[in-house]
Each structure stands twice: as structure tokens, then as C-alpha cells.
């Protein structure tokens, strides 16, 4: 089975005349169509909002596309908050869910009017000391512990996760927050990552809805929203069945009707934070074959490396590769596709069946639209690539320039030796 790229070889050849490879390319049409589907899937809930996880793809041009469909911003750091402020996101458009949080970041979140989602019960006093008075709306992150399972087996292990409060702590946190003047409450939980099953959100929702009923009954807190966070994944492998967001939305609606409505809590808003699902399939890393090596294995060297997409090197993640122009050619060669870092794990594919690759061929590395560019780094002095938007009319728009050596050395500009660096003009 194969995945179909959202761009042709001819289009890439044209783009590369202006923006040399490697670069990250995003599909505006796909992003918009997916955002519409998500909005439709939860349209039964009047207060629904998708808070796009900025960490997945921190590019203001892409975030602004999602904002056209009512999406907010999920932030977890000062710079992410600054990005949102710069594009005009304000107030409850922003969800601030962080952990081990410095005081200046809580202060900025409060200044922007963001909803603060507390990761730990000790942060209640911490935030109160910083702000003087707690905001009227606050959320708490829940961790039930143990192992999270679905019908197809163990999905993840919340008990080993550093995030969230225990069941006992969240009840106590609500009581404390209520006593300190908080009037509107939220519940947040993230129990499994990158699930490719329509069961995950409905089962998580059921757990959180039942918790909400108990919390409201025992603490008297007014629960305004329940945030299902992320975890809805994408099919990185071509033989995986993708999630059906309409079925997922309907599954959450059924549980909502079963649990919350009978308890008189049918006005609760549902929030999500689906960075990977919103952007992952609609971005790719485009790179060119520049070397071939024939030793104990067959290697294709490309002009990208793990600095541009580190998921395969970091934890062996699979990303499908299409050799543009050879989509229908037989995959009768076995290659390791490698980058230039002085690390043996700098490989985009290991023992991958691909068509014969010739020097100059363009490789389209799929599903790099989330946690792709954003996880980049500068090891070996390698520089991060440009980001380009393939617009709906087929034209290419630069939405982040490639790094230059001047960017790499910028933090030395306060030292004398910086004057000796010779940058091309």
C-alpha cells in the first residue's frame, strides 16, 4: 500500500527553483478541509473549541488558518504565549497547560487572559502568590494513574506519567480553588498518545464525565468545560486505518447524553487539543538524494537530516517515503535513507523497500506536519529548513525562511570573536 503525496514532482521542481531543499511543505487545502470536519464532528456541542497545540507546529501562518475555523491555541511556554499574543489571540482563545512552570509564564498567561490549566495541586498557592488573586476561571489536569486500556489492548500508562493530579488531589484542589474565589472550573486529561482508534475519545470522555458529576456533587464547583486534550493520532503507516473524526465526535456525544445530561450538566463545553490530527498529515519534509553508498547495506544520502525531522532518530518512528515521479515504480530496492549528522541513528528509513533512487530524485517524507519542524535542533551545526505553504491555488508561499549561519551564531553577538565570523551577504 502507498500514501499519496499532496504535491507532484513537477510542482516540487518549480518550488525548488526558488527555495532549495530541504524544506517543510504544508497543504493549505488539506488543513482547511480537516478543520471543517473537526468543527462538524463536534457541532452538537455549542461551546466546543479545538485548542490547537502550538508545540506541534508553531507557525503563525498555519495557526491563523485554523483560527478561521474557530480554533484556539494550546500553549505551554512563554514563547508560545508570545506567538499567540502577536497574532491577536486573547483571553479564552488561549489555554495555558504547562508543567514545572516558571512564575513569569503564569504571569504572562494571566495578563493575556488565558485559561490556566494547573498541572499540580501545589501550583494553586504558587499562582496565587504570583497574581495576588486567582482568576475566576481555572482548570485542573487529571491523572487517574494505572494503565489506560481499550478493547484493542493497553494504550498507555498514565501511572508513569509526570502530568496531572491524582483523584484525591483533584477533589481537594477544587475545594481549595472554590474557597479562593474561583467560579468556573475545567477538567483536563491526556491519557494516551497518538491513538489510531475511534474508541479513545469516547472512553476518555466517559471517564471524565463521570468524574465531573462526582466533583460537582461533592465540591459544589461549577464545571464549565471538559478538555479531552490530544491523543487522537494519524496513520503514519499506509496500512493503518485512519481515525474517523465524525464517528469520534458522535461517540463523545452519546456518552455526553448518557452521563452529563441526566445529571443536569448538559451545558458543559467540550474542548480538544489535537495538534497531530489537525496538522500532521498535511505537512511533509521534502529532500533530495545527493549521495549513494554501497557497503554492507545500500544507503541513500539526502540533504535533510534529523535536525529537520527527528522523530525517526529519536524513537524509531515510521514516516512513509514517496520518491516523487516514481509513485508507480516497483519498490524493488532496499535502502537505508540517511542524513549527514555524525550519529548513526540519523536515518529516515531503515531497510525500506523503495523504487530505484537516482541522484537528484526528490523524496517526499509524509506526515511531518506536526512535531516535525518544531522538534528541530542544531546539532553538528546543521540548520533548520524553510517552511512553505502550498496554497489552495497551487502557488507556494514562504511562511518561514531557512536558518542561516548568522542565526546559528546569533547568541555569540555579545563577544569579540563574533566580529571575525564571515557571513555571506
What are the start-end ranges of the H helices in 180-244? Answer: 200-219
Specify the DSSP class assigned to residue 48: -
Residues in the chain: 425
Q: Tell me how far apart the terminal alpha carbons of the chain are, to the nearest angstrom.
A: 47
What are the start-end ranges of the H helices in 151-310? Answer: 167-179, 200-219, 245-259, 275-279
CA 290, CA 283: separation in Å to the nearest integer? 22
Query: Which CA distances in Å does 59 have to 30, 65, 66, 400?
Result: 16, 10, 11, 8
CB 362 within 8 A of CB 374: no
CB 200 within 8 A of CB 150: yes
CB 95 within 8 A of CB 54: no
Sequence-distant (≥ 6) Cβ neighbours of residue 21 within 8 angstroms: 286, 287, 288, 303, 304, 362, 385
Beta bridge partners of residue 139, listed in sequence order? 117, 186
CA 323, CA 354: separation in Å to the nearest integer? 8
CA 95, CA 52: separation in Å to the nearest integer? 9
What are the start-end ranges of the H helices in 236-345? Answer: 245-259, 275-279, 311-315
CA 255, CA 210: separation in Å to the nearest integer? 10
What are the start-end ranges of the H helices in 100-199? Answer: 103-111, 123-131, 167-179
Sequence-distant (≥ 6) Cβ neighbours of residue 129 within 8 angstroms: none
CA 275, CA 271: separation in Å to the nearest integer? 13
Q: How many CB atoms lie within 10 A of CB 169?
A: 16
Catalytic residue among 71, 331, 342, 414: 342
CA 210, CA 263: separation in Å to the nearest integer? 10
342 included as an active-site residue: yes
Q: Which positions are annotated as active-site residues?
A: 342
Amino acid at each position: 500500500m502507498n500514501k499519496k503525496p499532496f504535491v507532484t514532482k513537477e510542482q516540487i521542481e518549480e518550488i525548488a527553483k526558488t527555495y532549495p531543499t530541504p524544506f517543510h511543505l504544508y497543504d493549505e487545502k488539506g488543513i482547511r478541509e480537516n478543520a471543517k470536519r473537526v468543527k462538524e464532528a463536534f457541532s452538537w456541542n455549542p461551546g466546543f473549541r479545538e485548542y490547537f497545540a502550538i508545540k506541534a507546529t508553531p507557525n503563525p501562518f498555519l495557526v491563523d488558518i485554523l483560527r478561521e475555523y474557530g480554533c484556539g491555541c494550546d500553549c505551554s511556554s512563554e514563547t508560545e504565549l508570545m506567538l499567540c499574543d502577536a497574532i491577536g489571540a486573547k483571553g479564552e482563545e488561549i489555554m495555558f497547560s504547562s508543567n514545572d512552570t516558571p512564575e513569569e509564564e503564569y504571569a504572562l498567561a494571566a495578563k493575556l487572559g488565558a485559561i490556566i490549566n494547573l498541572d499540580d495541586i501545589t501550583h494553586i498557592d504558587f499562582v496565587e502568590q504570583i497574581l495576588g488573586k486567582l482568576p475566576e476561571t481555572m482548570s485542573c489536569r487529571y491523572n487517574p494513574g494505572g494503565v489506560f486500556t481499550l478493547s484493542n489492548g493497553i494504550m498507555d500508562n498514565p501511572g508513569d506519567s509526570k502530568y496531572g493530579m491524582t483523584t484525591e488531589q483533584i477533589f481537594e484542589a477544587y475545594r481549595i480553588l472554590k474557597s479562593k474565589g474561583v467560579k468556573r472550573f475545567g477538567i483536563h486529561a491526556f491519557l494516551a498518545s497518538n491513538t489510531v482508534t475511534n474508541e479513545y475519545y469516547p472512553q476518555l470522555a466517559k471517564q471524565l464525565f463521570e468524574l465531573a458529576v462526582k466533583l460537582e456533587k461533592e465540591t459544589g464547583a461549577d464545571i464549565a468545560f471538559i478538555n479531552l486534550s490530544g491523543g487522537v493520532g494519524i496513520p503514519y503507516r499506509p496500512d493503518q486505518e485512519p481515525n474517523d473524526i465524525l464517528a469520534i465526535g458522535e461517540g463523545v456525544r452519546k456518552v455526553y447524553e448518557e452521563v452529563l445530561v441526566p445529571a443536569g450538566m448538559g451545558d458543559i463545553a467540550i474542548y480538544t487539543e489535537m495538534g497531530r490530527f489537525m496538522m500532521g498529515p498535511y505537512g511533509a519534509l521534502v529532500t533530495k538524494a545527493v549521495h549513494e553508498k554501497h557497503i554492507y547495506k545500500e544507503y541513500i544520502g539526502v540533504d535533510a537530516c534529523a535536525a529537520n525531522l527527528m522523530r525517526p532518530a529519536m524513537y524509531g518512528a515510521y514516516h512513509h517515503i514517496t520518491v516523487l515521479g516514481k509513485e508507480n515504480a516497483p519498490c524493488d530496492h532496499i535502502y537505508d535513507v540517511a542524513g549527514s549528522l555524525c550519529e548513526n541513528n540519523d536515518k529516515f528509513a531503515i531497510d525500506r523497500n523503495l523504487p530505484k533512487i537516482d541522484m537528484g530524485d526528490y523524496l517526499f517524507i509524509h506526515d511531518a506536519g506536526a512535531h516535525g519542524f518544531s522538534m528541530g535542533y542544531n546539532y553538528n551545526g546543521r540548520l533548520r529548513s524553510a517552511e512553505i505553504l502550498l496554497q489552495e491555488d497551487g502557488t507556494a508561499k514562504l511562511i518561514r525562511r531557512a536558518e542561516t549561519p548568522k542565526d546559528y551564531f546569533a547568541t555569540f553577538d555579545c563577544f569579540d570573536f563574533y566580529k571575525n565570523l564571515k557571513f555571506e551577504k
